Amino acid sequence: MEASALFSTAFSPPSIHLRSRILTKSRPHVFPTKKTSFHPLLRSPPPVATNAGRLFFTTTSKPSLFTSLPKPLKPISAASTSVSSIAEPKKTQLQGAKIIPLALSIAIGLLVRFVVPKPVEVTAQAWQLLSIFVSTIAGLVLSPLPVGAWALLGLTTTIITKTLTFTTAFSAFTNEVIWLIVISFFFARGFVKTGLGDRIATYFVKWLGKSTLGLSYGLTLSEALIAPAMPSTTARAGGVFLPIIKSLSLSAGSKPNDPSSRKLGSYLIQSQFQSAGNSSALFLTAAAQNLLCLKLAEELGLVIASPWVSWFKAASLPAFVSLLLTPYILYKIYPPETKDTPEAPAMAAKRLEAMGPVTTNEWVMIGTMILAVSLWVLGDKIGIPSVVTAMLGLSVLLLLGVLEWDDCLSEKSAWDTLTWFAVLVGMAGQLTNLGIVTWMSSCVAKFLQSFSLSWPAAFGVLQGAYFLIHYMFASQTGHVGALYSAFLAMHLAAGVPGVLAALALAYNTNLFGAQTHYSSGQAAVYFGAGYVDLPDVFRIGFIMACINAVIWTVVGGAWWKFLGLY
């Protein structure tokens, strides 16, 4: 409400006309642009001033219930457009790699290569590749360059040092799973572009939003419904759920970076953030890292039959239990000040009315995703690989105009993922082929055997270590690329049943995405909203990690025993 008042005051017609007169008086070349959209509350469009080829303009878009309002226009002062400020060239800063992270990343690899003694069982080629791989992983953590650029440098190093041939180094770029992940990003863009994800979530708010707890359940269940067809947790968080949560919170007087954040916004953010990991773990296609996990498992000889169905069947019971308990547990340990939200269903109804009927593009999106999910479920039986299903779905969206090729080209995260996923998968695969993973797993197995641990005990120790190590990572997929193969090999060496080990590690990969404010893409999105303090992120993240561990161990363990996984 306060935001609306501020908006109407800052954008009142007199202030706009006054600004226009000032600009016209000081600069004769002032004119309204036809292409600039403006808020319907304005009586005239904002002016555009030009001076020496410099363009000043402000565009606003139609306000939405679930989008933040535009910021007030900043006054254009004479100082901001002085001749000296225009003529004087900007001082460019040196760009490139960050020196200290670069030096540390390279030093770690050099230490492995030249200081750490090479085991007798390992070849010189394998040890050299391991040093490059370790340096690459260190760079992914320390970030001397963007992830894709650093991965490309690591790949180039393997070729220059003749550790790998060009063909071998780039072989992973034809990997089916990697292209399935890339196409998944395009599907997520389709959900956001058509507004289908927003519509589905808004319906759940209308149906369950009379209380804060019901509102939380509505958002949680809507994400679980969208997840299998929108395989990006970050896209779901930033493109669908955060705008809705912010709108509902502001309407209840709960503002970010303010004591009032605890009224509603803090709880909704935490509930959605902690539930997202279980939604991602529920379906194979709900997150990119899920597909990568199964591909790396295949590299170690573990091929899971009917992967989509097998994944869902094993995850269903523990994931559903966690999804049902998480909002309620947080309601008790991190309660909102506002308990009832009677206005939320009315807001949602107005939003749906403003959206109008389901558009043709939304129907196409619905039909395409039903087709894709059906073929993912039945693909093994009818001989259609998952990546072919994804390609078919994308082709339909392109042919019918739901997506344009420019949409795909502008999806930078997809192409970046293609680069560094392929590099990590390729290196990990070659490390397996050269015997490094087998050597490492045998060393760990001997260590565990020295404690006379049974395979269930070794399973618990390794799963716990894999989970806690994520405090050192800022990416779920980076964690998978660095450690999944090694930990799976350790499980196998300790006698843990293969399918159980592969799936449990993969499920954990989703659950530890809510540990910290940097542990995943959605973590950065939700923390950046300003509703949750940093100490609370770590505290709630640790508490919910323990609760999820109990649920997935007790409920999941019994369920997996029933399914015959061990």
| Residue pLDDT tens, the chain, 566 long | 444 443 333 333 444 343 444 444 444 444 444 443 333 333 334 443 333 333 323 333 334 444 443 444 444 333 333 333 334 444 445 578 899 999 999 999 999 999 999 999 899 999 999 999 899 988 877 889 988 899 999 999 999 999 999 999 998 898 887 787 788 778 878 888 898 888 988 888 889 888 999 999 999 999 999 898 777 788 788 878 988 898 888 888 999 999 999 999 999 999 999 999 999 999 998 988 898 899 889 988 898 988 999 999 999 999 999 999 999 999 999 999 999 888 889 888 998 999 999 999 999 999 998 888 888 878 767 888 888 888 999 999 999 999 999 999 998 878 987 888 788 778 878 887 888 877 877 787 778 778 888 899 999 999 999 999 888 776 787 788 778 988 998 999 889 999 999 999 999 999 999 998 878 888 888 988 899 998 999 999 999 999 999 999 999 999 999 999 99
Closest CA to 193 of 57, 340, 364: 364
Q: What is the DSSP letter of 472?
A: G
Residue 256 contacts residue 200 (beta carbons within 8 Å): no
pLDDT of residue 452: 82
Sort strands 30-32 and 47-51 into parallel, antiparallel or unpaired: antiparallel
Residue with tokens 């659950």: 511
- Cβ atoms < 10 Å from Cβ of 533: 14
Of residues 244, 302, 293, the one with CA closest to residue 511: 293
Nearest CA to 395 out of 176, 186, 128, 94 is that of: 186
- pLDDT score for 400: 95
Q: Report residue 138 as tokens.
A: 């260190």
Nearest C-alpha neighbor of 506 from the set 307, 324, 301, 321: 307
> How many C-beta neighbours within 10 Å does residue 31 have?
11
Q: Measured between alpha carbons, how far is 183 from 506 in angstroms, rounded to an integer?
A: 20
Q: For residues 477 and 510, give the distance between their C-alpha atoms in angstroms, rounded to a whole number.
A: 10
Residue 218 and residue 256: Cα distance in Å, rounded? 22
Max intra-chain CA distance, the chain:
87
Q: Is the pTM of this model over 0.85?
A: no
How many angstroms separate the Cα of 13 from the Cα of each of 8, 48, 68, 338, 420? 9, 16, 21, 36, 51
Residue 145 CA to residue 466 CA, distance in Å, equals 26
Amino acid 265: pLDDT: 93
pLDDT of residue 93: 53
Name the packing angle between helices 436-449 and 412-433 (round to 10°): 70
